[in-house]
Structure 1
């Protein structure tokens, strides 16, 4: 994570989204999500089979 106070003005302008990129993001946001065989919609039954990769913080303290 970078603090913007430590960045130069030219670097901030370079990293900002262009108008075209902002239009593309807005258009993508308005499109519906399409599920297919490679990425099927997750059902509640399938969601229960997932397990967390990283345990919640403080989980070790609660177990002890």
Structure 2
């Protein structure tokens, strides 16, 4: 479990999507540890879904509302 928590902590500081999720959990009143564990659970859910659907993970650029294009 330590590896999962460490990976979630790094994702919560480096990955924009995980960082936003972690900030949202903190805004909900969760402690830092609870927010990091929520990121870990979310990452496991994504991994499980990828395995079940026999897909690979592909990072797509974030869509910003109001962006020209």
Normalising by structure 1, what TM-score? 0.28
Normalising by structure 2, what TM-score? 0.27
**CA radius of gyration, larger in:** 1
Greater fraction of residues in helix: 2
